[in-house]
Structure 1
Amino acid sequence: MTRDEVLDIFRECGAILEGHFVLTSGLHSPVFLQKARVFQYPWKTEILCKALAEKIRAEVGQGVDMVVAPAVGGIVPGYETARHLGIPGVWVEREQGQFRLRRFEMPENARVVIVEDILTTGLSIRETITAVEALGATVVAASVLIDRSGGTVNVGVPLVSLADYAVPAYPADQLPPELEALPAVKPGSRGLA
């Protein structure tokens, strides 16, 4: 699946929004990828996650025991990608501010691939890696549907990206005037109670 085919699915679903957005990372951007608008269509989500599973197989190989996704955004693509890989898919969730595998058991010496929806700074992936490695598992790779950093973020393990889509993101004190002139909207999930 090509980058343009991935972005076309996001466009078809009205999932590439323009304006002034405060991202989950706290950075500000003129573009927000509202993946929930894609995930509401199981057949479109299947197309993306099947392609991501194929890319994981091609780049990582067959030796993966489990998919782990960060909640909330990674749950849907994590589940669907795990289905196409034919392995269990679980998720970590925040407990007192840190990711933890609360609802599932981690098999001893498991080889894990992290599946996330969108990568901006890589914080959720790095926190997921920390949680998984604390349980004795080995993270062999991380994967995302879209890498909005354009390949500039290092998450500490090999990264498999279905599409790179470099989108500008700015700290709050470094906004360009055209972005500063627009009201900011915070559509992400981190920080929800």
Structure 2
Amino acid sequence: MENKTIRILKETEALLEGHFLLSSGKHSEGYVQCAKVLRFPDKAAAVLEPVVEKIKDLGIQKVAGPAMGGVIVSYELGRQLDVEAIFTERKDGVMELRRGFEILPGEKVIIAEDVVTTGKSTLETKEVLEALGAQVVGVACIADRRGEGMDIGLPVYASVELFFPTYDPQDCPACKRGEKAEKPGSRGNA
């Protein structure tokens, strides 16, 4: 039986196949464009319900997601958990907590992401939150596509795990065939 999250990602055309340039600079044959599913509030709620089931007993006091991908996810998780939802964002290339958002010392916070691949924005957000005294308890996301052996040092609570092969550009089969990579994400290359 097909996973409910996969079915919803397909229904909303959020699960893409092709040749993609990821924010990490790597290339992939698959991509999850979560904005396509998050545009529907009922579908956003449905894909995040399994995540809420996994994290509801962690004592989370706040949800914080990095902009762009974590903003709506943070909001929906906060709504379902009945806790405050905030977000970090980059200013001059540096991740910050802005807009009057606050972290209280010792507050249990979970980081919200749409997709976790390399963990770059997750770890930047973790650094900001911990510098403000937060106790970061993990990462909650729609799709975990880290692949085997990719440890970001935090527990990851995902609605679905997806394994798309990723390649350095010089090793990418699609590049070798002369295919141009699409850049569907919101962040420039790292």
* TM category, shorter: over 0.9
**C-alpha offsets along residues 15-34 of structure 1, whole Å, 9 cap, x if unaligned?**
11111110122111111111
**C-alpha offsets along residues 38-96 of structure 1, whole Å, 9 cap, x if unaligned?**
01111100111222111112xxx241110010100111111101110110000000012
**Structure 1: distance between partners of 2:98 and 2:186:** 19
Contact 1:69 1:78 survives alignment (8 Å): yes
Distance 1:179 1:47, change over 3 A: farther
Residue 155 of structure 1 deviates from its aligned partner by 1.7
Contact 2:52 2:80 survives alignment (8 Å): yes
Distance 1:179 1:124, change over 3 A: farther
State the secondary structure of the residue aligned to 2:87. strand
37-46 or 174-183, which deviates more: 174-183
2:121 is matched with which residue: 120, 124, 131? 124
2:76 is matched with which residue: 67, 75, 80? 80
State the secondary structure of the residue aligned to 1:74. helix
**Structure 1: distance between partners of 2:60 and 2:92:** 29
State the secondary structure of the residue aligned to 1:173. helix
**Structure 1: distance between partners of 2:24 and 2:121:** 9
State the secondary structure of the residue aligned to 2:3. helix
Residue 171 of structure 1 deviates from its aligned partner by 1.1
Distance 1:138 1:15, change over 3 A: same
**Structure 2: distance between partners of 1:17 and 1:101:** 32
For 1:105-124, what aligned pairs fall within 5 Å after superposition?
105-124=102-121
126-135 or 150-159, which deviates more: 150-159
Query: 1:182 aligns to what?
Result: 179
Residue 152 of structure 1 deviates from its aligned partner by 3.2
1:66 aligned onto 2:65: no
In structure 1, stretches of 5+ residues that fail to align are: none
**Structure 2: distance between partners of 1:178 and 1:191:** 19
TM-score by length of 1: 0.91
State the secondary structure of the residue aligned to 2:20. strand
State the secondary structure of the residue aligned to 1:84. helix
Instruction: Give the letter for the 1:157 counterpart.
Output: L
State the secondary structure of the residue aligned to 2:55. helix
Instruction: Give the letter for the 1:72 counterpart.
Output: M
**Structure 2: distance between partners of 1:134 and 1:99:** 12
Instruction: Give the letter for the 1:81 counterpart.
Output: L
For 1:109-188, what aligned pairs fall within 5 Å after superposition?
109-177=106-174, 180-188=177-185
Contact 2:19 2:174 survives alignment (8 Å): no
State the secondary structure of the residue aligned to 1:144. strand
Contact 1:151 1:164 survives alignment (8 Å): no
**Structure 1: distance between partners of 2:176 and 2:126:** 33
**Structure 2: distance between partners of 1:112 and 1:151:** 26
Residue 102 of structure 1 deviates from its aligned partner by 0.5
